[in-house]
Amino acid sequence: MENKREYKTSEQERAYQRQYYASHKEKYRLYKKKQMKERRVNPAINERIKTRTREWYKSSGRAEKQKLYLQTFRKERFFKWRVRLFNMRYKTKYTEFDFKMLWDKQKGICPFTGWKLNDTAVIDHIIPIKRGGTHYLANLRWICKEANWGKRDMLDGEYLNVIEAIGRQLIKELKS
């Protein structure tokens, strides 16, 4: 009689599934493991699942909610947002306090442009990672995104030389 299942509501069905899972955990885990292995091997099934998930995510309104949440989070919790991005990208464990301390140390001013930093400011490595720099706080600073785009993987001296050369070229063009 245990195999006979005729439920009228989805709530009764879910209750049955919960009970079944609780009493057959190992069997269920092995079944799921086998199922996932088959899905990984078959790209068609994998792609169909991804497509359905994307469609459901968009149609349920969750995409808009997530976007709104992230925009609000980014504006209202700037340091927490930047810490989260940095920690995820570089596998570090900094806190809001660490990044706020760097900001206060610089008094919210970009060291290259002298502009007051705003919510578009980014964390820069003084000695770039490609040049052997580390992710330690002593090697980090806040700069405006424009300066970060220009600096890329250069050391400060190299970047200032480039800026100086561009300035000389502009002055030369203005005079002629």
For 110, counting Cβ atoms within 10 Å of its Cβ (0-12 exposed, 13-18 middle, 19+ buried), the class is: buried
Number of domains in the chain: 2
Query: What is the per-residue pLDDT across 8-47, written as a single tens digit (0 to 9) for each?
Result: 678 888 888 889 889 999 998 899 899 888 887 888 888 8
CATH code of the domain in which 164 resides: 1.10.30
pTM to 2 decimals?
A: 0.65
| In a domain? residue 94 | yes
Is the domain of 86 the same as that of 164? yes
How far is residue 7's CA from residue 20's CA, in Å, rounded to a whole number?
A: 15
Is the domain of 98 the same as that of 131? yes
| In a domain? residue 12 | no
Query: What is the per-residue pLDDT across 37-89, written as a single tens digit (0 to 9) for each?
Result: 888 788 888 888 889 989 988 899 888 999 999 999 988 999 999 999 999 99
pLDDT on residue 172: 92
Is the domain of 81 the same as that of 148? yes
CA dihedral for 152, 93, 77, 85, sign (positive or negative): positive
